[in-house]
Amino acid sequence: MTELPGRRLLLVHAHPDDESINNGATMARYAAEGAQVTLVTCTLGERGEVIPPELAHLTGEALGSHRRTELAAAMDALGVHDFRSLGGSGRHQDSGMMGLPDNDDPRCFWQADLDEAAAELVGVIREVRPQVLVTYDPDGGYGHPDHIQAHRVAMRAADLAAEPDFRPDLGTAWTITKIYWNRVPRSVAEEAFARLKDVLDELPFPASAAVDDVPGVVDDTLITTEIDGTAHAAAKAAAMRAHATQIEVVEPWFALSNQLAQPIFLVEYYELVRGERGERGGAASGAPEADLFAGISGTSEVSA
Ligand SMILES: CC(=O)N[C@H]1[C@@H](O[C@@H]2[C@H](O)[C@H](O)[C@@H](O)[C@H](O)[C@H]2O)O[C@H](CO)[C@@H](O)[C@@H]1O
Ligand SMILES: [Zn+2]
């Protein structure tokens, strides 16, 4: 077996753009530190709206193909070299927003069989052997069917990958040590939107989003981990800009096709939902972790 990098991080997302919005600074930081960063994206975003008028003709599989090129450019900006489509490119299609007839398309991710889709991810988990998995909370951050399904598939695959009797043809069983959900502490979101309010009339966006429009906003007490990606601000902004069909960036703000301004977070927040916290300043400190690999033996940066 070839020598694997000491630290291996797996992220599971629904569409091209989610990874940069939610975890761009984290991905850039760990890639820069020499960790292996693997992204699995579950759809190609074939049902997305398109911002630039000159690209408005792109729909369906043509849009999906274009968004895959946007994803490749975003990964280049973040220094991430391992990025994959769940089950292969185009295997699961974008399901559209919750409640739309699109959700009933048999080709869409929302209609995928959970265990079949999870088995596709088990193969990646047993190959990459990540110590850390990052995905969405059960609501997918904001209730989009592909986000909800990405959560379900990621959590199910983490369980199945650890079972030696499950599909040995997919590789040797592997247990992921720590699992995190993407979160934003409410106090941080409120403070950022207060700053946005002061400058909104200087921005090209007609209105501001609301705090609760931000996926994964929760009470501060649920936050276990803060990853400071301030040093990677330019990389995150470049990655978000690469998703030009979906995102407009006017640093340190951005807007999706709904034209509602929202903040770019350079400290990215997480809730540890499986595994033990590695405490910064010792167990008594109660301070949030500052490293997703904290407390995992053999993964300190020095040993990477
Ligand atoms: C960030 C994200 O998950 N984007 C999804 C989402 O796109 C939104 C959707 O088109 C909505 O109608 C717009 O108002 C909003 O501005 C968009 O961000 O859903 C798309 C369709 O499933 C998906 O392709 C896109 O990646
Ligand atoms: Zn998405």
Q: Dump pLDDT digits (tens) for 66-87.
A: 999 999 999 999 999 999 999 9
92 assigned ligand-binding residue: no
Q: Does 279 score more than 90 pLDDT? A: no
Assign 3-state DSSP to the chain and report helix, strand, coil percentages, each to 5: 40, 20, 40
**DSSP H helical ranges for 108-256:** 114-128, 145-161, 186-199, 233-242
Q: What would the two tokens of residue 54 be?
A: 């000159």
Q: Does 264 score more than 50 pLDDT? A: yes
pLDDT band, residue 226 (cuts 50/70/90) = very high
Q: Which residues contact 223 (CB under 8 A, 6 or more apart)?
A: 183, 185, 269, 270, 271, 288
Degrees to nearest 5, angle at CA 100 with 94 and 103: 45
Give the residue-averaged pLDDT of 287-299: 91
For residue 93, how far is its CA from the centre of ligand 1 (angstroms)?
Answer: 13
Ligand 1 pocket test: which of 94, 135, 139, 144 has the largest number of ligand atoms within 8 Å of its C-beta?
144
* Per-residue pLDDT at 222: 97
Which atom of ligand 1 is closest in space to residue 142's alpha carbon?
3
Q: What would the two tokens of residue 225 be?
A: 């981990």
Q: Tell me what ipTM this predicted complex has.
A: 0.99
96 φ, ψ (degrees, to nearest 5): 80, 170
Q: What is the pLDDT of residues 116-171, one digit of tens each?
A: 999 999 999 999 999 999 999 999 999 999 999 999 999 999 999 999 999 999 99
Q: Report yes or no: 143 and 129 within 8 Å, Cβ to Cβ.
A: no
Instruction: Give the chain's radius of gyration (CA, Å).
Output: 19
Q: Report yes or no: 7 and 35 within 8 Å, Cβ to Cβ.
A: yes
Residues with CB under 6 A from ligand 1: 15, 17-18, 45, 47-49, 94, 96-97, 144, 246, 256-258
How is 283-294 classified by DSSP, letter by letter?
Answer: GGG-PPBS-TTT
For residue 163, how far is its CA from the centre of ligand 1 (angstroms)?
Answer: 35
Q: Report yes or no: 144 and 97 within 8 Å, Cβ to Cβ.
A: yes
Q: Does 196 score more than 70 pLDDT? A: yes
Q: Does 263 score more than 70 pLDDT? A: yes
pLDDT band, residue 19 (cuts 50/70/90) = very high
Degrees to nearest 5, angle at CA 230 with 292 and 258: 95
pLDDT band, residue 302 (cuts 50/70/90) = very low
Ligand with minimal distance to 92 CA: 1
pLDDT band, residue 280 (cuts 50/70/90) = low
- Atom 1 of ligand 1 has which residue's CA nearest to it? 18
> Which DSSP letter does residue 94 get?
-
Ligand with minimal distance to 58 CA: 1
Ligand with minimal distance to 243 CA: 1
In whole numbers, what is the pLDDT of the chain averaged over residues?
A: 95
CA distance linking residue 128 with residue 124, whole number of Å: 6
* Per-residue pLDDT at 303: 41
Ligand 1 pocket test: which of 70, 94, 135, 246 has the largest number of ligand atoms within 8 Å of its C-beta?
246
Give the residue-averaged pLDDT of 172-185: 98
- Atom 25 of ligand 1 has which residue's CA nearest to it? 48
Q: Which residues contact 37 (CB under 8 A, 6 or more apart)?
A: 9, 11, 27, 30, 31, 78, 80, 82
For residue 28, how far is its CA from the centre of ligand 1 (angstroms)?
Answer: 24
Would you tell me how many other CB atoms lie within 10 Å of the CB of residue 73?
16
Q: Which residues of 130-144 are buried (b: 16+ CB within 10 A; e: fewer)?
A: bbbbbbbbeebbbeb
- Atom 5 of ligand 1 has which residue's CA nearest to it? 48
Give the residue-averaged pLDDT of 220-225: 97
For residue 7, how far is its CA from the centre of ligand 1 (angstroms)?
Answer: 32
Chain centroid to Cα 179, Å, comes to: 13
Burial of 286 per CB tally in 10 Å (0-12, 13-18, 19+): exposed
Q: In the chain, pLDDT over 70 holds for what percent of residues?
A: 94
* Per-residue pLDDT at 258: 98
* Per-residue pLDDT at 3: 62
* Per-residue pLDDT at 304: 38
253-255 vs 260-263, strand pairing mode: antiparallel
Q: Whats the size of the chain, residue-wise?
A: 304
Q: Does 4 score more than 70 pLDDT? A: no
pLDDT band, residue 284 (cuts 50/70/90) = low
* Per-residue pLDDT at 297: 83
- pTM reported for the whole predicted model: 0.96
Give the residue-averaged pLDDT of 177-182: 98
Which atom of ligand 1 is closest in space to residue 146's alpha carbon?
22
CA distance linking residue 12 with residue 42, whole number of Å: 7
CA distance linking residue 128 with residue 176, whole number of Å: 11
DSSP-derived 3-state class of residue 152: helix
Chain centroid to Cα 49, Å, comes to: 19
